[in-house]
Amino acid sequence: MQPISKETAIAIVGAGAMGSGIAQVAATAGHKVFLFDTREGAAAKAIELLSPGLEKQVSRGKFTAAQKTDILSRIHPVDRLAQLADSGLVIEAIVEDLAIKQELFRQLEAICADNTILATNTSSLSVTAIASVLESPARLVGMHFFNPAQVMKLVEVVTGLATGKEFADKVFATAQAWGKSAVFAKSTPGFIVNRVARPFYAESWRMLEENVTDAVTIDHAVSKAGGFRMGPFALMDLIGHDINFAVTNSVYDACYQDPRYRPSLQQKELVQAGHLGRKTGQGIYNHGAEPPVPSFMETLPAPSMVQVCGALENTGKLAARLAESSIDARWEDGNGEIRCDHFTLALTDGRTATQRSVEEGINNLVLFDLALDYGSAEALCLAKADQTSEQAFRLAAGFLETVGLRPMAVDDSPGLVVMRTVAMLASEAAETVSHGVADAKSVDTAMTLGVNYPVGPLAYAEQVGLSRILTVLQALEGHFGEDRYRPSPFLRRKVLSGGCFLE
């Protein structure tokens, strides 16, 4: 399918940050762009506000001054919808209100030619529902950009029940021609990104509510061990808790209160207090103060010798760090544990340390958390069984510190922090694939480009081992007794068959 010709005009309805960003993208690709907003003078002001951002790109060598001028000259403010009649593609980027969007598209359908493609930038509303009021619903397609549209590479091309394949294919090809990475998604609550990302936020709130640890430790673990660019609380402060909470509620309600998407009462309190994050100066963090740092453990000197019992499955680079340290490591058969006279250290399998200590008869058991790369991780969470002595805990922490990992103590909770988060993301991603929302490659592409995950959740799960991810989820489900933690049946099937999600 060929993209929309550069000679074809593009229209944008809505001159906010998203609408003006999309206008810049289309103009940069060579199109004449009409920008409309119901607020008097808003379109012209939005075009004016694009100039400083483009000037920065000129200073970085991305554009010349002449190219900047050319881009801005292609964007034309208009004050009447009727002036969009000759456009080949109209993209709306207005308020997330179904009735208002439906009314807009009724008007656009009456104004525009029969072959004009109508696109909605909605992030949470049903494309099927928006199109249901049209005489020709086949030509309405979801074209979901991510903010800022000029920078973010991802575009979700969303098809409703009535969307014509030729229109969706045209929008997909156009997004690619505009320098974006497009993925197809079916119109379901949250599409790909806003659905699959829910556990990233939800589990952090649950851990906070369970007093597993504090917000800064969770953020530090997720970023410095898990490899994510930002921790969940720092990211929610950046997004705005009002926006994040609204999206969570939208997905939760649209999925008939599925417990996997249940909103947090603590986040609701923040929103009600007006503590929305960076934009108000106060969210989880006080943005007028020095950034907080986690409380690292007080340690005791590491033992001079340990036994490594079996292969350190999924943690090979931890073994490499151990080999480079001053600790004498002796290798024996076993289940991938690190032992000495004082403690046994093992990667979490989803059970609490207390439960695992009892079930396996291990004295002074200490569990450590998942890291994306144990060779470059800076810190790691540790939890001890209730039966484990404080001395043994600090000795185990000293071991980690000796191999270059700052230890952070968390309460004895199932799955610790990073492993719990990654397991829930993987399960949600597997469900998204099994429900036909998108294929596995598209899901991982969407999560890496749309929310800057270090790797896609399915690739992350395969790196950890699908069997271990399933084991962790089963342990979470057993511990809490909640349907929220049910493992994806599709994930279970992959484990049973020995298959994988990605080639």
Write down the catalytic residue from 20, 87, 92, 156: 156
Are the C-beta atoms of residues 227 and 372 closer than 8 Å to each other?
yes
- The active-site residue, picked from 31, 76, 144, 342, is 144
Nearest partner of 118 among 76, 160, 155, 78, judged by Cα = 160
DSSP for 323-337 reads HHSSSEEEEESSSSE
The secondary structure of residue 291, as a DSSP letter, is: P
| Sign of CA pseudo-dihedral 269, 273, 279, 284 | negative
Greatest C-alpha distance within the chain: 80
d(CA 495, CA 114): 49
Between CA 304 and CA 314 the distance in angstroms is 24
Active-site residue (options: 87, 123, 244, 357): 123
Strands annotated E in 54-164: 75-78, 89-92, 117-120, 140-145, 154-159
Whether a cis peptide bond, with omega within 30° of 0, leads into 77 is: no
Residue 286, both tokens = 């006080």
Sheet holding 181-186, edge to edge: 75-78, 33-36, 10-13, 89-92, 117-120, 140-145, 154-159, 181-186
Rounded Cα distance, 309 and 346, in Å: 10
In whole angstroms, give the CA distance from residue 359 to residue 377: 30
For tokens 């008007």, name the residue: 107
Selecting among 124, 194, 357, 427, the annotated active-site residue is: 194
Task: Write out 395-439 in H/E/C secondary structure.
Answer: HHHHHHHHCCCEEEECCCCCCCCHHHHHHHHHHHHHHHHHCCCCC
Q: Is 156 a catalytic residue?
A: yes
- Can you tell me which residue has the tokens 């986040």? 267
What length does the chain have?
A: 503
CA angle 123, 127, 130 (to 5 degrees): 110
Q: Are 445 and 183 in contact (CB under 8 A)?
A: yes
Is residue 452 flagged as an active site residue? no
Distance, in Å, from the CA atom of 153 to the CA atom of 175, rounded to the nearest integer, reads: 10
Q: What are the residue numbers of the active site? A: 123, 144, 156, 194
